[in-house]
Amino acid sequence: MAATEISKNIFWVGAVDWDRRLFDELIPTPEGTSYNSYLVRGGEKIALIDTVDPSKTGDLLDNLQEAGVTRIDYIVSQHAEQDHSGSIPEVLEIFPEALVVTNEKCKAMLIDLLPIPENKFKTVADGEKLDLGGKSLEFIFAPWVHWPETMLAYLREDKILFSCDFLGAHLAQSRPLLSDEYHTLQTAKRYFAEIMMPFRIPIRKHLEKLKGLEIDMIAPSHGVVYPRPALILDAYGEWVSDATRNLALIPFVSMHGSTREMVEHLTGALVRQGVEVKPFNLIHTDVGELARELVDASTVVLATPTVLGGAHPAVAHAAFLVNALRPKLKFASIIGSYGWGGRAVENLLASLTNIKVELLEPVLAKGAPKEKEFQALDGLAAAIAEKHRGSGVLS
Ligand code: FEO
């Protein structure tokens, strides 16, 4: 994709990865992604903010050539993960005069991960400025968005925040500037769920810190550039708050139909109680969709058949994911079926140690569910509705 001027003397020179469908061999990216690298031309110095994934180094170098870059003074590395740092060694080969500007923690990680000589670094402190001549980059340490070394860069003269992974989205688009607010927000919410949600608490502090800055544009290292920063800042404010919605999620697997019957019954019962509900068949669901809904759901009901004495592995995986992402869920339960016994409930509960939820009485059926279990599911739906009323999300 072509080098693009996003503000005067500031160019997007990154790479769009239309084909990427899995990130970190973990996160589904159904809409691809981008590795955004930005070139800032000051009156005296030229800085490149982040590079790109090593698989796309050629795109970055082509864009630098297209932008007429013959010298780079600084390569600012905001985050050591290779999708932003992986091209630094090749950029240094072509622009040997450049120094890698980063913090001490990131420097150590970059040396661990990449062949960058120690004498190529210039380290900066939190709040330190890098003068480019008429433009200056101010560094804001922001641990845990995404790794502990991550920092942001604020270009005060142009009121642009380069936010690295923070506030980004896995979205491939042919222009770097945002073109569809609704669509971007949906992808950004999913990205938040998969990458940022476990760090909700530190993110609150970062958002507070940003309130002290005048920001006209946010330029993250994935997804699109936000010309209206309030869009993503306000959304993050909601996502990291403790507020949940009147929403119950039912991730499920059914092998022979019994668990499915229970899920369908519970879904109907919840709807009749006024609770919004989303069942997710885990065999067909992209777990990123489940993650996105976990951002503000109040309740999760894991539904599983019994396999080899325990929960179905796909449901166990969903429980592991829920636990790892640390959503702000308030209530949980487990439903499912078994043939001759098992420990599915104990298995799943053992995986939910990170989240502080109130457990509502599980419902298990021996074989196909019968009237007794359907009544218990009606009782579970009523209990969920009551809890949602009690927490103020259902009137
Ligand atoms: Fe986009 Fe944590 O790297």
Residues 6+ apart with CB under 8 A from 187: 31, 169, 170, 171, 223
**Confidence at residue 27, expressed as pLDDT on a 0 to 100 scale:** 86
| Rounded CA separation 255/388 (Å) | 31
pLDDT per position as a tens digit, 76-111: 999 999 999 999 999 999 999 999 999 999 999 999
Atom 3, ligand 1: which residue's CA is nearest? Answer: 81
Provide the mean pLDDT of the chain. 96
DSSP 141-173: E-TTSSSTT-EEEEETTTTEEEEETTT------
CA of 356 from ligand 1 middle (Å) equals 28
CA of 46 from ligand 1 middle (Å) equals 24
Cβ pair 169, 223 in contact under 8 A = yes
**Confidence at residue 341, expressed as pLDDT on a 0 to 100 scale:** 85
Signed CA dihedral, 373, 375, 379, 382: sign only: positive
Mean pLDDT of 170-187: 95
Which residues form the pocket of ligand 1, taking CB atoms under 6 Å from any ligand atom? Answer: 79, 81, 83-84, 146, 165, 221-222
State yes or no: pLDDT of 52 exceeds 80: yes
Atom 1, ligand 1: which residue's CA is nearest? Answer: 165
Q: How far is CA 74 from the centre of its chain?
A: 28
CA of 76 from ligand 1 middle (Å) equals 15
Q: Ligand 1 atom closest to Cα of 195?
A: 2
CA of 265 from ligand 1 middle (Å) equals 41
pLDDT per position as a tens digit, 211-258: 999 999 999 999 999 999 999 999 999 999 999 999 999 999 999 999
CA of 161 from ligand 1 middle (Å) equals 17
State yes or no: pLDDT of 68 exceeds 90: yes
Residue 256: other Cβ atoms inside 10 A? 12
Mean pLDDT of 194-215: 97
**Confidence at residue 97, expressed as pLDDT on a 0 to 100 scale:** 97
**Confidence at residue 9, expressed as pLDDT on a 0 to 100 scale:** 97
Phi, psi for 375 (deg, rounded to 5): -65, -40
Q: Find the angle CA(337)-CA(341)-CA(347) to the nearest 5 degrees.
A: 75
| Rounded CA separation 289/280 (Å) | 9
